Structure 1
Amino acid sequence: MGPADPVSRVQFHASGRRQETQRLSVAAKSPLSKGRPAPSAGSSAVSWVWRQVCALILRAGGWKVDGDWPQADKVVLVAAPHTSNWDGFWMLMAAGYYRVKLRWMGKKSLVDHPLGGFIRWLGCVPVDRDAAGEFVDQMADAFDTADRLVLAVAPEGTRAGTPVWKSGFYRIALRAKVPLLITVLDYGSRTIAVRGLFQPTGDYAADLPAIRAYYADAQGRHRAKFSMSEDGEP
């Protein structure tokens, strides 16, 4: 890439901190500093142009991208910290840079109107929130019927701040038999870091501290709202 290529001007850096855990498998063998797109991204002109646009927006916002996208077509993306509506925007820009279609959960009523198709195009996976306790099965079914699915879930469950992490992200991955993708949105260093794949063992109490360790130094846009409690819903 030449000097005029906007992608080449996005700043990348390799983190010196490497947390070790037996259950973490970093998919990319090269150092986590190149920001390579998804292996299955293809080479369409539209996705290439969109990648350039996202690279320019990330650079204008002062953001760095750290890490290669893993070789996995279906993952639950752990999106944290989540303290602001801006988090979703920057995650979408990062997904565009990686040439990945990012999906997110939304209430069913969001797509039950004439603009529903557009909302789905934006990445919404509709969930019937009246069916209490069944959203995990709904998301697992979505994984079963999809060839590729990257589902972003904020473990806090809210941007308002919470003393505990919800376990929904973990239960969805476990039920769907897909790995978690550890992704850190750090406003302190203005870095969006793709840390690697984590395969849930089924022991939430044991796995949660290992997952949380990757967010230990991260700062949300509103720092006071980001919780690092080790507890969570069963």
Structure 2
Amino acid sequence: MQRTIFDTPIVNNIFRGLSRLGLKLAGWKLEGKAPASEKYVVIAAPHTSNWDFPLTIAMAFLFEMKIYWMGKDALFNGPMGPMMRWLGGIPVERKAKHGLVQQVVDQFAIHQQLIVVIPPEGTRSKVSKWKSGFYHVAHGASVPIALGYLDFQRKRGGFGPLFETTGDYEKDLIEIQKFYAEIKGKRPDQF
């Protein structure tokens, strides 16, 4: 995986300090601890606003995590492309079926440490059901799922427990979504 802002000396420390200050001034607090596991998929939910991105990046700095995240390929076009990749972005062509799950699974196989953040809704818009890619990546790579969240109502962000997949997606999804039942996104009507 490419070098990111999270492993760039000096810049990392500066952004950690800015993140601490920014979150404190905005009234946000961290809850839980980053998983001790070296490899896992983080669910980023609810995903209802553009504010989710800077808050997630800021919290990654404070949890001292090196994250990669998946985002629509349009974010990576033009001059913003290199910056998005430096922020840990992995472009996803949402309309194409091209084995992205297997590509991410393969990355888990070749890296000693890897944390990939995937929004299960796949968009900030309201969806009737979550996309299953996050689950299939975690199950295929035999890594746990970290239940990450941003609760705008309480101004809290952090982690719930790690979730180990069983292979029964429908059953596991019910358990995962129970965790998110009381968490409110910036636009609760979108989740």
Runs of 4 or more above 6 Å deviation: 112-115
- Alignment partner, residue 104 of structure 1: 69
- Alignment partner, residue 3 of structure 2: none
User: Any gaps of 5 or more consecutive residues in structure 1?
Assistant: 1-40, 227-234
Q: Distance in 2 between matches of 1:55 and 1:224?
A: 29
Q: Distance in 2 between matches of 1:170 and 1:103?
A: 16
Higher relative contact order structure (alpha carbons within 8 Å, sequence separation ≥ 6): 2
User: Any gaps of 5 or more consecutive residues in structure 2?
Assistant: 1-5
Q: Distance in 2 between matches of 1:223 and 1:111?
A: 28
- Alignment partner, residue 25 of structure 1: none
| Cα 1:112–1:52 shift into 2, 3 Å | closer
Q: Does residue 41 of structure 2 align to residue 91 of structure 1?
A: no
- Alignment partner, residue 157 of structure 1: 122
- How many residue pairs were aligned? 185
Bigger drift between 105-114 and 145-154 goes to: 105-114
TM alignment of 1:1-234, pairs within 5 A: 47-106=12-71, 116-127=81-92, 131-132=96-97, 134-226=99-191
Bigger drift between 103-112 and 57-66 goes to: 103-112
Residues 184, 214 of structure 1: 8 Å contact kept: no
Deviation at 1:129, TM superposition (A): 5.0
Aligned partner of residue 68 in structure 2, secondary structure: strand
Q: Distance in 1 between matches of 2:92 and 2:181?
A: 31
Residues 71-126 of structure 1: per-residue CA shift (max 9 Å, x gap): 11111100101101111110111001111122112456765767644332111123
Deviation at 1:184, TM superposition (A): 1.6
| Cα 1:185–1:130 shift into 2, 3 Å | closer
**Structure 2 residue identity aligned to 1:71:** A
Q: TM-score, normalised by structure 2?
A: 0.85
Residues 18-70 of structure 1: per-residue CA shift (max 9 Å, x gap): xxxxxxxxxxxxxxxxxxxxxxx99x765444322211111111111001111
**Structure 2 residue identity aligned to 1:186:** D
Aligned-residue identity in percent: 39
Deviation at 1:145, TM superposition (A): 2.7
Give the structure with higher Rg (CA): 1
* Higher normalized helix content (fraction of residues): 2
Q: Distance in 2 between matches of 1:106 and 1:83?
A: 14
User: Over aligned residues, Cα RMSD in angstroms?
Assistant: 2.4
Deviation at 1:144, TM superposition (A): 2.1
Q: Distance in 1 between matches of 2:185 and 2:79?
A: 35
